Amino acid sequence: MRVVIADDAVLLREGLVRLLTESGHEVVAVVGDGDALVEAVVAHRPDVSIVDVRMPPTHTDEGLRAAVQARQLVPRSPVLVLSQYVEVSYADDLLATTGGAGGGGIGYLLKDRVAAIDEFLDGLRRVAAGGTVLDPEVVGQLFARRRRDDPLSELTPREREVLALMAEGRSNTAIARALVVSDGAVEKHVRNIFTKLNLPPDTEQHRRVLAVLAYLRN
């Protein structure tokens, strides 16, 4: 494999170069900041890039932002993020680039949780081949964030059923017949849906439309 390494920690960077070289891979560029990563990916079109999250100048999320930018400029360019930190927002953005025309492999591993060299190299190969490799901690944080961001996550299973039937254009009476419950029970569920989705006081018809739009988006 032809590999680009982006990490501002010299010892780790050189260690990766040695590991990859001894494993039969070619390191085509070694860089220490996000801008240089983007330039290297565009220039070398590597089989995979290994990227740290926090790099100069601010040591916050430059690596992830650069990885997203690199994949926009070179679609399907595989990226393995190797870091001590989980930056959920940009990790989500990076994973989003696997859809549609972007495709390409994505990985996110935590440095202190890589248990064996063979495990790391296997993950790198899978990413280069177009696969997705995620540390369980990354998966957990991404899932938690999506639950927080999902307005439907607060609805009960019954309220979701009611909302799904609302999306079909059914009236409260028609929903009651479909679920074999009273009209009053449906009205209560609808009120709860409006409250949990934080829909502003308005005509019921307008709030029904907003609720259905929220359902369709999610």
Please tell me whether residues 130 and 182 are part of one structural domain. Answer: no
Number of domains observed in the structure of the chain: 2
Distance from C-alpha of 25 to C-alpha of 44, rounded to nearest angstrom = 15
User: 90 is written with which tokens?
Assistant: 């940009």
Range of the domain at 199: 151-217
Q: What is the CATH number of the domain that holds 163?
A: 1.10.10.10
Domain finish residue from 149, 164, 195: 149
Please tell me whether residues 73 and 97 are part of one structural domain. Answer: yes
Confirm whether pTM is higher than 0.85. no
Mean pLDDT across 152-165: 87
- Summarised one tens digit per residue, pLDDT across range 76-118 is 899 999 988 887 776 777 777 765 444 678 888 998 888 899 9
